[in-house]
Structures are given as structure tokens and as C-alpha cells.
Amino acid sequence: MKVGLIQCALISAIFAIAGYLVFTSTSFDASLPVTVAVSLLVSGIVTPWLASLFSNSSSSSSVSSSQETATLYVGNLPYKANEDAVKEYFKNYIDVQSVRLMKDRRTGKRKGYGFIEVLTSDVDTAISKLNDKVFLERTLKVRAAKDKIAVE
């Protein structure tokens, strides 16, 4: 568990207890809505912001800062395959950093393609080793992913 998550939980608990104490110790007056609003603001905005600061400063990534990553598009994936299965299969060939499989927003079913983050130095190797490989009775299509186009 990351240190930032623990710190976020502690800060949230402190604000929740403080809000409860203020709410139960005061009789209803005009300042109560302001107190509740400030408590909600702090717990909803400030606490996540603090957590992101802690997690960014204390997180230790599996990839060192000198190693850049690239994204591969993987098509024709079996619909029944999940992220863990894909990661395990690809780890036999390359150093996998992350796997993201696309799902239909309405149904939640997998679309049969996804993206795998690998070290930049492994991109050509991964494409040559994995393109047209059979995975769970499906022939994979592996390509370098195209950059997202910014929509204005």
C-alpha cells in the first residue's frame, strides 16, 4: 500500500471526526451550514489534492526515470481474456508495464482490443515476437499505438 493512501485516509478521518464533533456540539444556528460546507470542501477537494502530492513525491515506480515507455496496440484479443491473462502471456516475451483492455461503455463487455505499455527499447522486439501469435485461439495483431489526437 502506498504511503500517500494511508496519509489520505488519516486526513479524511481527522476531518470526518472534526466535522462530527462540530455538528453534534453546536445547536442549530446560522454558522452550521457554513461549517458543514467548509468540512465538505476540505474533505472533497483538499484531501485528494494532498494525497496526490504525497503519492507523487513518495511513489517508487517500477520503471526508472531514465527508461521511457511506449504503448502498443493489441488487436483481435479474445473477448474472455482479462488484463491479468494478457499481462501474463506478454510477460513471456517482453517487460510489460501495464495493460488496458477496452470495454463497451453501455454493456461493460470487452471490445477485443487494448493497449500495453512496454519499455521503449522493447517495442520493435515486441511487435516482431507477438504480431500474428496465437493467444487463446485468436491471432493477435500488435502494432505501435498511434498518439491520441486532441479534439478542440
Strands 110-119 and 134-135: unpaired
Q: Indicate whether 112 belongs to any domain.
A: yes
Give me the phi and psi of 85, to 5 degrees please.
Answer: -65, -40
Could you give the percent of the chain with pLDDT greater than 70? 56
Q: Are the C-beta atoms of residues 143 and 132 closer than 8 Å to each other?
A: no
> What's the rounded Cα separation, in Å, for the pair 70 and 125?
12
pTM (2 d.p.): 0.54
Q: Indicate whether 21 belongs to any domain.
A: yes
Q: What is the CATH number of the domain that holds 104?
A: 3.30.70.330
Q: Do 33 and 13 fall into the same domain?
A: yes
Q: Do 49 and 100 fall into the same domain?
A: no
Q: Is the pLDDT of residue 49 over 90?
A: no
Structure-block grid coordinates of residue 16:
470526518
Mean predicted lDDT score pLDDT of the chain: 77
Quote the pLDDT of residue 1: 45
Q: Work out the number of other CB atoms within 10 angstroms of the CB of residue 104.
A: 9
Query: In terms of pLDDT, which residue wins out, 18 or 64?
Result: 18
Structure confidence by residue, pLDDT tens digits, 51-72: 666 555 444 444 444 578 899 9
Q: Which domain holds residue 137?
A: 69-144
Q: Do 79 and 140 fall into the same domain?
A: yes
